[in-house]
Amino acid sequence: KNQVEQSPQSLIILEGKNCTLQCNYTVSPFSNLRWYKQDTGRGPVSLTIMTFSENTKSNGRYTATLDADTKQSSLHITASQLSDSASYICVVTLNTNAGKSTFGDGTTLTVKP
Amino acid sequence: DSGVTQTPKHLITATGQRVTLRCSPRSGDLSVYWYQQSLDQGLQFLIQYYNGEERAKGNILERFSAQQFPDLHSELNLSSLELGDSALYFCASSPTSGYADTQYFGPGTRLTVL
């Protein structure tokens, strides 16, 4: 069964600190991996998209890494802000069809002042 | 604001009923995706349409159906509703059906089945 596992389930950090979220997947054949940020009750917002051949992608204070050999990805957030408090979701898409994606359960990040 | 609009924002209905959720994609986007997000299952892909044609199907129940119209807006029809259908339903759009397209999500429709 294709799965996407995220850890930790939740995380609390102080404003200004860095953190790293993990995503392990077994989805195959792999097309791309995305990280989304979802504020409570709102639609997800795309942070990064990485294809099989990419191993890092940045978007401001967000940097995603991908190791396709070990099927692991991480999302690193630097200099966290209160507005970073949200759920971060890892999504892996099959290369047979753009629409077929498997979502992780997300990591809930809380940034405290 | 992603440019994707969904109506209605909230919907409360009873078991056994049928509802229609509507989605207007971003201007120029040809693909529309529907997702369900419930408390116990997270986000799940339901179905994708590209330029009016069904492109991919995920975990969509037989009681659910969707279509994309010539003006590219899409509707998700949910029938014989059950309590377990209560969830947030998101629509997303992207320019093409390309694997690496960014998908832009709408604000969602919150469905409550009583």
Per-residue pLDDT of chain A (113 residues; tens, 9 = 90+): 558 999 999 999 999 999 999 999 987 777 889 999 999 889 999 999 998 889 999 999 999 999 988 999 999 999 999 999 999 999 998 776 555 788 899 999 999 99
The structure tokens listed for B40 are 């116990």
Q: Which residues of B touch A91 (CB under 8 A)?
A: 43
The structure tokens listed for B67 are 């279509």
The residues of B whose Cβ lies within 8 A of any Cβ of A are: 2, 4, 31, 33, 42-45, 47-48, 55-58, 88, 90, 92, 97-108, 110
Quickly list DSSP for B40-105. TTEEEEEEEEETTEEEEE-S--TTEEEEE-TTS-EEEEE-S--GGG-EEEEEEEESSS-TTPPPEE
Model pLDDT, residue A99: 55
| Calpha distance B111→B10 (Å, rounded) | 6
Summarised one tens digit per residue, pLDDT across range B58-79 is 889 999 999 999 999 999 999 9
